[in-house]
Amino acid sequence: MFNPTPRQFKVIRALLFVSALLPALRLLVAGFTGGLGANPIEFITRSSGDWTLYFLCIALAVTPLRRLSGWNWLIKLRRMLGLFAFFYASLHFTTFLWFDHFFDLGEMFKDVVKRPFITVGFIAFVLLLPLALTSTNGMIRRLGGKRWQWLHRSVYAVALLGILHFWWMRAGKHNFEKPILFGTIIAGLLLVRVYFAWRNRSAGVSQARAKVQKRQVTPTPT
């Protein structure tokens, strides 16, 4: 079982951090070199939206992968991956607010209400905000472990809404391959999580029964 030293882990985290920035750097370079194509706004919107879903899937895969592989150190990377999902979601939303509405909040909200696929995407982004804001150790302590866990389980709702938003955007062009892929990945990760929760619950019930049986067969002192 691979268990990196503290120095190796720092290298892994640094490489992952730089790799996660590459899509944003690509957009930045393309913007200065004219590489965004004939429709730069659409290019940025699609790229940032795609990478939001990529990082959501990767962040959600950390816990199942940790449990299957026994690599407990992976959990230390989950927060960073989740924050990169929020980073690209913010870039996606800012592109919509800036280039489509020039920071006119009134017009933006009219668009949100009028177009269902934007409504769904906006709800997903709003739900993602508290997850990013409560990702610090201090907020974990303030909320308490269980309340924090329940709050952050809503990331699955964010992912599903994000996929629906993505699906709706591509519906006019009958491009359903990526939405189906994202949906399959999220469904698979959710099923793995449900399986582990069921297994842990079954193990807890078995241990409780074993304790009860042990008490029943143990003779009481006279």
- What's the CA gap between 157 and 54, in Å, rounded? 15
Judge whether 222 lies within some domain: no
Q: What is the pLDDT of residue 174?
A: 64
Percent of the chain's residues with pLDDT above 90: 54
Q: In this predicted model, what pLDDT tens digit does every residue of 85-115 receive, in sequence order?
A: 999 999 999 999 998 888 999 999 999 999 9
Instruction: Please count the structural domains in the chain.
Output: 1
Look at residue 64 and tell me if it is in a domain: yes
In this predicted structure, the answer to whether residue 214 has a pLDDT above a threshold of 80 is: no
For residue range 130-141, list pLDDT tens digits in order.
Answer: 999 999 888 888
In a domain? residue 189:
yes
Q: How many residues does the chain have?
A: 222
Percent of the chain with pLDDT over 70: 88
Nearest to residue 4, comparing CAs of 102, 71, 50? Answer: 71
- Among 78, 74, 76, 64, which Cα is nearest to 189's? 64
pLDDT, tens digit, 9 for 90 and up, residues 170-211 = 765 666 788 888 889 998 988 888 888 888 777 665 665 656
59 CB contacts (<8 Å, ≥6 apart)? 78, 81, 82, 85, 155
The answer to whether residue 1 is domain-embedded is no
**Residue-averaged pLDDT of the chain:** 87
Q: Is the pLDDT of residue 221 over 60?
A: no
Residue 218 in this model has a pLDDT that exceeds 60:
no
Query: Is 59 part of a structural domain of the chain?
Result: yes
pLDDT at 77 over 80: yes
Residue 219 within any structural domain of the chain: no
Give the model's confidence band at 8: pLDDT under 50 very low, under 70 low, under 90 confident, else very high. very high
Domain that holds residue 203: 6-213
Q: In the predicted model, is pLDDT for residue 126 greater than 80?
A: yes
Is residue 220 included in any domain, yes or no? no
Decide if 90 is inside a domain.
Answer: yes
